[in-house]
Structure 1
Amino acid sequence: MSSTSDFKQLPHKLLAIPGPIEVSDEVLFANATPVVSHVSPDFVKILGDAIRPTREVLFTKQAQPFLISGSGTLGWDQATNLVEPGENALVLHIGYFGDSFSDCLQTYGAEVDVLKAKLGTAAKQAAVEEALKQKKYKIVTFTHVDTSTFQWVRVLSDAKSITETVKRISAETPVFADCVCSIGSKEIRFDDWDLDIVLTASQLVRKDSERHQDLVSCFLVRKPSR
C-alpha cells in the first residue's frame, strides 16, 4: 500500500457524537508515515503547516499556538498554570464543562467563584459586570459552547461581549475561552475580540477540517504569558 487511494477504513458504525469525531481515510493513512526527529528540518515544516491554519481559523496574527498531544481537558491544566495558589478565578458557568474547569482550578489551589447561568442560557453581562466590580480576578473563564449538559440544547456564550465587559472593568485580567466544542463551526475572532487564551481540541473539530485526533491547541497572547 503506497498511497492514500489504496487505503480504506474497515466498515464500522458511524460515530455521531460531538467528539471524538469520524476521520477520513486520508487522516488515518497519515498515521502510517515514518516517525521524524523533532529537531529535523522536516519537523519544522510539519509544525509550521499545523500552526498556520490554526491561526487562520481564529482570525489571529497575535496569538502563539502551543500544540500538544492530549485530550481537551489538558488545556485546562495549561491555563491553570497562569493562576497561583490563593489567587482568584471567575468561572462563567453554562453547564457541565464549567463544573469541571472549576474543579481543575481548585485542584491547583485557586480561589474560585462560579457565576452560574440559568440552565439552557448563557451568562448575563450585567451579572458578569457585577462580579468583576466585587473582586479582583487573576483570570476569567467561560465555555463558548456547552454540548454535554443537554442532549437537545446547545448553549452559546457571547464571547465578544464577555471580553468587552472584562476589559472595560478589569483590563489586565486575562480572558480564557474554552472553544473545544465550537472551533471550526462558530466564529471566533481572537484579535478583534481581544481574547487572551483560547483552548481547542481537534478530536471535536468537524470532519471537513481534516484535523488529527488528540491534538490540543492552546492559544496564548504575550500579556498573560508574563
Structure 2
Amino acid sequence: MSAAPLVSLRAVAKRYATGTLAVRGVDLDIDAGDFVALLGPSGCGKSTLLRMVAGLAAPTGGSILWPGGAAAAKDIGFVFQEPTLMPWATALANVALPLELAGMGRAEAAERAAAMLARVELKGFEAAYPRALSGGMRMRVSIARALVTRPRLLMMDEPFAALDEITRFRLNNDLLRLWEAERFTVLFVTHSVFESVYLARRIVVMAARPGRIEADLPIDAAYPRGEDFRTSAAYAAHCRGVSQALGHAMAVHAG
C-alpha cells in the first residue's frame, strides 16, 4: 500500500435537480492496491458514489482528491452492470477499442486485446460477436476491455448481479486471480454480503436516503481465497458481522 491514498473523498454529497439528496457527507480513502466493496441496499447511493469517483457525475458538495494528480483521475477502468458491448463488433474489436481511441496502432491494439482476452479465459473467442456469447462470457469481455489499458483503479458497478450463481462464483474467482496478479485497485459495488466478504479486503456499508457510510469493516482473511475460504467458519463469521452492520444501517433508515 502507498503512503498516500490513491483517491480520497471528503464530505462528498450529491443532490439531484429534483431536490433529492442521494449522497451526504461521505469521507473515504481508497489505498493503491486495495480491494474495497461498497455494500448496501438498492437506493443507498453506491452507484452514484462510484460514478462520481469515475468522473461520470459531479458531486454537489465536498471534494474528490487524487494525490497523484490529474493523470491518476483518468487512469481508470469501469465495468457497468450490463456488459455494454458494441453488438456489431467482435470480442477482439470491443476490447481493442479503448487502445485505439488512445491512439495505439491497430495491430498493437489487437495484440494487446487478444492477450487480455486470454487472461479472462476467452482465448479462441476473439472473432465471436456478443450475440454468440453467454452472459458470463460477455461480462468477461467487458472486464477485459476495462483492464486492457492497465488502469490503476478498476470500478465495477454490480457486474455479476444478473448472472446465475455458478457463473458468478467463477467470475469472482477470475477477478481475484487477476487482481492478485496485477494488484490494481478495485472499488466494487454489490448488494450481496456473501460476494463482498469473499472478494474484498474492506467492506464499506452504506445506509440510504441520504446515502452515507455506516461502517467500514476489514476482512482479514488471507489471499488467495477459494472454496476452502467460502466454506470456512471464518467466512461465515465475517458474513454474520457484515450482515449485522447492514441490518443496523437499514434499521437506522427505517427508523
Normalized against structure 1, the TM-score is what?
A: 0.36
